[in-house]
Structure 1
């Protein structure tokens, strides 16, 4: 038993450990040339996609992610027929990150380009470019090179290699390097930025030096921890409802009295608590098994589901307000309770815990429903189980603690009207969160009925009414007639009313960082008076580094993208903070590098990276290569602080809207530079 418990704890800890890898490679494509007839052929691109990632389809709207495109560098004896065509299970959904309807693939992506063979011999060389994102970041435009040639059908059917043919590079005459040359050698650097030794130092890889500062915890790990604690808080709130709180002393007393052996009573209470955990974790796993990983990811952006979630939360809120009681059929709990009495041992205790789950559903159901809705829309396969683990641990905790320390039962607050107050407060919160899901549906269908001002106006009213309720100015059916307001209730009312007042400037465009994750995007704001943005001094790395060297300032590199919505969130929620603004504009040289900048380079550049030859065609390709080769990362947003010789001053920073962390990130880099 102890070994199993230890292994379970070890697995949980391992799941929560931060990831240290910076380079992400979630998509692997292979290419194949298939001959259809003597004059027809097609190039097939087949991609395997990691869970949680999307590969976007062709011909997407402007302002969105990178569309898949077919690009030709050389061709002889062959003509293109039509355009690159997606095949397979293409998903079309409203994307809450890009705020538009998009088409994409999960798990597997297939693209086909048809060809017409016009000569006795033929050759075609080029690349397919695609974009990939998950819910947290996007990769820069990624190329899949191909090179095929042949003489007739026999030659065409055997050309199934995914590597470019060994041909001399024609775009740019660069220093010839052996096949094992990587992106870190001097020939590659010279091809990129010339033979100036001082400038070459700017491109020298600093991956090991950066790792010496320690890696930033990945966003996914943070989200899992957030989900666990959200579930834990939900479980604590469920404890203080009328359906659960009065049961605690009765259940603990039962376990202590059913056995003369106090140790056995404590052991039974622990088993009871563990059974509660198992029941709710199984519920979370059932959600995943029923919907599946891809369906859970689709829930977050599907308009119909978001409308359903909105209505569900409104029903839960009405239940907490006292309009009706959500109860399961009584025969269910009676049947389980009867079965518990007829059995003994562990099965009896497990059935008792199951009875608690059924009996307390009228109070725990809305909390569990809200929690499952919220975590399911994260798209994470394990999110429902993690959320239910936190919920169950909080719910089971008092049963085991009071069994271990029975004297604590005397100090338990008595049941009373305060528990109904908690229910009503939860009702107001669920009503507020219902608007979040309605907002997604509104954006998906383009109704325009819930823009940012309307959303904030409704939230202001909801939290103002909550404040008035806590002050006793509003009554619901189950409330006591006692008009006295306790100190704790008064402070809760003060917080709610203050929060309502805090949101008022948002009606005129104030960023409202505290609600930026819930409110509709700023572009839905009709009237915006707020202008306080940070702009980069340079969009060219080498020019910015030369300026930093002349002025004796450290550098902040901002690897971003035109289609990177999380980058815009950081700029709106973090960069506009006065402390951050002052540090970035006065103490650093800010260089912003767009990895999806499609401006062609004056000349194409061929480089060797990880044993493969790559062609850099655009300015975005160049900055993306810089990020990978120098810093060992390829996702945006990506912020890194360096001195004016290209050496890191602190660990890198990714998407995290915690302003204090960002200020510390900047100040630490500045202190290290001054040393």
Structure 2
């Protein structure tokens, strides 16, 4: 009896430590009838505490977005629009510098369909999604929706549809170019730890502040600055009393703000918050944004002027003569039209940048811009004596305009870079991007020093202290970027250029000649991975090499879209003692469970564990971890000997360096 109890305890212990298949998301589905031929297919997720599922609108270089697929080979029904989502939360990922859109606790997805075949009884669909906490899981769920029979005749009520639970091994059934993880290898998913509402407010405040600076810059252009004394003079002469002048000045400033707020509202209203998020991650819209900003930049540099028709200004100006509140409103509109050649490119850039953030960001951006633009007009009209302190108009206004042109041109390449990253064309790798920026900012410095002139510049007899100071700042920034060509991280601008891995030489131009480790001839099938660790991405190649050098194997089950995997590599593996063990004492095999590259047909198979077809490299390693180690989470680390026996208990996310180092040394010690 005692032996029996001991055996039972051993079995339970084994089950507890090895049966680690985690399913933090439970799905239900139902069909909601709209009409005799139209239905809503509703998919609802219940998410365990602290876990997060990511939106289908999550930006590139972020977590893997939810992806939907519906089986409709025979054209039995028509999908109406895209899948709609319940409101998601947004949080900035400071590791990879992207916003994340995610759901906590629950989520609802709705797809509207129109039935074409009246005999259709079921619709099958699936969702591929990522769910993260301290670890990440790439999961898939299949739905079967029951459609009432005789659709064109019946008045049946809403039908509840059964849900088919699917094992978590098949993580890459849907192939979508926009989020191909073999193309965007640094895409990550983070388990948020801060309050999303605070992050949203922080993001909007940043947009407001940048837009406010943009408004101030517009104020210092040749189209706007000279209008300040003209406008102030109008109010002081037309107003019967000082109090009336101040009131009119305030109304004028508010009118400017209202006009630009209407513009921001139109952008948000026409496209919608979700559409703006989608546009920001779309390849072709990023290319369009690039072209737009280049046009704006060339305009500011003096090649041509972007102007609205003169007839518009004349008509609005006539309305401004009416006086009263209506007249003041039309005066503000006249300012917007007349100054468009200078403010248009700035407003356009702000709308493009804020639209990429989605939500009400365009409205907030226009509020910041218009506030900076309106405030001086209001203040100088209220206190005319301040006008004497204003600098006189002159060539310096064109200098401001040209400087904005250089900034517009530099920002344009950010959008082109995003498109190139998604398409993986490798036309704008990190070194090329930095070379372009160095050229742009270097030319700007030369311009500020008077070595380059543009068509509308006044003759420069001397350089002012302000212009010289600005030139030195731009020159210093240009010099700062040069080491980035050779592998420097450039933390000040890390959000703009492509990541280090997306470059001609991921370890810098001199990486292969200056690094002691990189001089070593790489084994067949290996490459220099994170921190120049010799890394295998195929189990058989790594296992063969481990036998050859008689070292233990460290299996690293990871994912391109796993932020905690990246955190371990950046923060823990970089430790001197940990790195020494990884480089010298083990053979590292990193297996990516979200690698969407297809396996050759001869290597595809049906999983004995899950019963699903293993089609991709990621499927293969996902099936491997589930079959052998009874888990589906990443990161997951296993130390084995050359007989494929575990040297110690595998571990997952372990941010404590001492704990991770102790685990490594324990396994290596047992091997020896």
**Shared topology, TM-score over 0.5?**
yes
Looking at structure 2, the residues matched to 310 and 49 of structure 1 have their Cα atoms a distance apart, in angstroms, of 40
Listed as ranges, the gaps of 5+ residues in structure 2 are: 1-24, 33-40, 48-52, 84-92, 99-106, 114-124, 146-156, 166-191, 512-528, 534-556, 580-591, 595-620, 638-652, 660-672
In the TM superposition, 1:63-212 aligns within 5 A as 89=81, 108-109=110-111, 130-131=128-129, 141=138, 160=160
Residue by residue, what CA displacement relative to the aligned partner does 1:228-285 show, whole Å, maximum 9, x if unpaired?
1111110000011111111112212221221222111111101110011110010011
In the TM superposition, 1:656-667 aligns within 5 A as none
- Counterpart secondary structure, 1:415: coil
Matched, 1:250 2:230: yes
- Counterpart secondary structure, 1:131: strand
Q: Which residue in 1 is equivalent to 2:391?
A: 413
Listed as ranges, the gaps of 5+ residues in structure 1 are: 1-26, 35-43, 58-62, 71-80, 100-104, 112-126, 149-156, 166-209, 537-559, 586-593, 605-616, 624-637, 645-675
- Counterpart secondary structure, 2:29: strand
Looking at structure 1, the residues matched to 567 and 222 of structure 2 have their Cα atoms a distance apart, in angstroms, of 42
Matched, 1:30 2:28: yes
Looking at structure 1, the residues matched to 577 and 226 of structure 2 have their Cα atoms a distance apart, in angstroms, of 54
- Counterpart secondary structure, 2:160: coil
Q: Which residue in 1 is equivalent to 2:338?
A: 359
Seen in structure 2, the aligned counterparts of structure 1 residues 256 and 570 have a Cα distance that, compared at 3 Å, is farther
Looking at structure 2, the residues matched to 433 and 475 of structure 1 have their Cα atoms a distance apart, in angstroms, of 22
Matched, 1:398 2:398: no
**8 Å Cα contact 2:231-2:377 kept in structure 1:** yes
TM normalised by structure 2 equals: 0.57
Matched, 1:600 2:626: yes
Q: Which residue in 2 is equivalent to 1:673?
A: none
Q: CA deviation at 1:294?
A: 3.1
Seen in structure 2, the aligned counterparts of structure 1 residues 330 and 284 have a Cα distance that, compared at 3 Å, is same
In the TM superposition, 1:529-608 aligns within 5 A as 529=507, 562-564=559-561, 599-600=625-626
Matched, 1:334 2:314: yes
Matched, 1:237 2:237: no
Q: Which residue in 2 is equivalent to 1:611?
A: none
Residue by residue, what CA displacement relative to the aligned partner does 1:525-545 show, whole Å, maximum 9, x if unpaired?
111336997899xxxxxxxxx
Q: Which residue in 2 is equivalent to 1:277?
A: 257
- Counterpart secondary structure, 1:108: strand
Matched, 1:510 2:494: no
Looking at structure 2, the residues matched to 254 and 641 of structure 1 have their Cα atoms a distance apart, in angstroms, of 68
Among 423, 436, 449, the residue aligned to 1:471: 449
Q: Which residue in 2 is equivalent to 1:372?
A: 351
Q: Which residue in 1 is equivalent to 2:199?
A: 219
**8 Å Cα contact 2:54-2:66 kept in structure 1:** no
Matched, 1:260 2:240: yes
Residue by residue, what CA displacement relative to the aligned partner does 1:163-190 show, whole Å, maximum 9, x if unpaired?
999xxxxxxxxxxxxxxxxxxxxxxxxx
* Length, aligned pairs only: 453
Q: Which residue in 1 is equivalent to 2:632?
A: 618
Seen in structure 2, the aligned counterparts of structure 1 residues 561 and 381 have a Cα distance that, compared at 3 Å, is farther
Seen in structure 2, the aligned counterparts of structure 1 residues 561 and 446 have a Cα distance that, compared at 3 Å, is closer
TM normalised by structure 1 equals: 0.56
Looking at structure 1, the residues matched to 500 and 343 of structure 2 have their Cα atoms a distance apart, in angstroms, of 35
Among 434, 439, 444, the residue aligned to 2:417: 439
Seen in structure 2, the aligned counterparts of structure 1 residues 263 and 460 have a Cα distance that, compared at 3 Å, is same
Residue by residue, what CA displacement relative to the aligned partner does 1:115-171 show, whole Å, maximum 9, x if unpaired?
xxxxxxxxxxxx97741599xx998556879999xxxxxxxx999377999xxxxxx
Looking at structure 2, the residues matched to 348 and 29 of structure 1 have their Cα atoms a distance apart, in angstroms, of 59
**8 Å Cα contact 2:430-2:498 kept in structure 1:** yes
